[in-house]
Structure formats: structure tokens, C-alpha cells
Amino acid sequence: MELITRYYDEDIVLKRAVDIACPTHVSRRVALFYIHGGGWRAGARDGFHRHLYHFSRKGYVCASAGYRLAPTVHFTEQMGDVAIGYDRFLAYIRERELMVDRVIVAGSSAGAHLASLLALTDPAVFNPGIGLTEPWLRPIACVSINGPATLEKWEPMHDGIKRDIENMLGVTYEEESALFRKASPSAYVEGEAADFLFIIAGKEKFFPHSFIYEMSGELQRLSKRSEVVLFPEAEHGFFYGIGSPLQQEALTVLEPFLESYA
């Protein structure tokens, strides 16, 4: 396996980079693109390296994208960063002449939010004029791991996640800004939407499950493949590794889903 880092800029910005793991022999037609979580204000792309190692050994070319963190930047800049990371990953696939024509995006928590929007929209929705080097290839599917379906206010709302969402968007809920709707994955469920696998934690404390089930139902009504799998004993952020019994159980759900596109 080869593990490389591609920075987005000639003048290196540490968070603006994508780590790519490529097996000696790529045997899958689908690539995997991960986005880390951390409340939009923390986390790093190496958080998903264990997934990269695991799936590259199974013949997948994989990537884990970095992005600048709030409150230094806000939502649109973060979406721009992950879109450019995705573009650099597509460029790598083309340069290596890999037989890959599909990409599945995956993320945990805040990363699931960004991954969901990457799978549901074109980059110009949030960043008109964004400079990409490759023709855009919309992800065929998204794996949302304990992520949100909406950022519009709900009650009761965990104080920490409320603060994180406000810092990421640069507005408060008291302002009743349209940004909360604009940044909600559920607002973009339409005919060209990707398929979804929602992995949710029974001990979730940040994002209500009810909105996930509603979004999944909307996708199904559009004849999209959408599954919600609940792990009753799991806590938020449980699936960065692959070694614990719960993580192994989650792999038994994730692996067949990925293989169905491979």
C-alpha cells in the first residue's frame, strides 16, 4: 500500500490536504473518500487512517480529506476545502489510470454533514467559481456516521452542538438566518441524490434520530437506496477505528454496502 499526502495549495496550508491510500493492486471500481468530524472546529484527516488501511487491503483506493476549522473559517470555506480535496482525489485516480468510475463518500459527525452535502449538491452551490481541475463526479453513495440531517433548530438542543453549529455558520439561532436551512442536508434531497447508509448511535447526544429517519424516507420515496442502521450501545463518534466489538459489528454493515457498488 502507498500512502501519500496531496496539499491543495503551492503555499502549504496544513489542514488543506488529502491523504490517499492506494493498494498495490486496485481491484474495486469504487473509491472511498472520508471526511473527519470534530464539531467543525477540531479533528484531523488521520482520524480515519485505520479505515484507509483496512479497505486498501481489500482493493479499494481510499482518501481522507482535511479542511480548515471553525471559527477561523466558516461553512462555505469548509465545503470548498472538501470539494477541492475530492477533486484532487479524482485527479490522482486519473493520473494513475485506475479502473475506478465511482466514489462513495463517508464521514462521522461534522464530517458526515460535509460528506452528505458533497453527495447531494454540486460544488458551485456553496462556492460559485470554485477552481476544480477535474470534471465533477457526483458520489454514488454516502455513508453518514452519527451525522445530522438538519441544522435547523430543534428542541431540546445540546448546548455544545448548538454553539458548534453557530460558530461554523457564523450566525446565531436567535438571528433566524436562512443559513441553517441552506446548510442542512435534508434541504437537498431530490432526484439526483446519492444513495445513503446512515449509521446511528443508540447513545447519541447531539443529533436527533427522527430527522435521519425522515430524510431516509424522503430518499426512499425518490426510489433511492437508503438504509438506517442503529447500534444501540454505540456512542457518538464510535466508528473511527475497526478493532472494538462495536466497530467490528459496524463493519459487518459497512462492508456489504460498499461491496454492492464495487
Q: d(Cα 181, Cα 135) in Å, to the nearest integer?
A: 28
pTM exceeding 0.95: yes
* pLDDT tens-place string over residues 147-184: 999 999 999 999 999 999 999 999 999 999 999 999 99
Q: d(Cα 19, Cα 149) in Å, to the nearest integer?
A: 27
Q: d(Cα 120, Cα 139) in Å, to the nearest integer?
A: 8
**Confidence band of 39 (pLDDT split at 50, 70, 90):** very high
pLDDT at position 238: 98
CATH code, domain carrying 192: 3.40.50.1820
* pLDDT tens-place string over residues 59-118: 999 999 999 999 999 999 999 999 999 999 999 999 999 999 999 999 999 999 999 999
Domain that holds residue 166: 2-259
Total number of domains constituting the chain:
1
Q: d(Cα 262, Cα 99) in Å, to the nearest integer?
A: 11
* pLDDT tens-place string over residues 44-73: 999 999 999 999 999 999 999 999 999 999
Q: CA-CA distances (angstroms) from residue 64 to 18, 47, 77, 106, 226?
A: 6, 8, 18, 9, 23
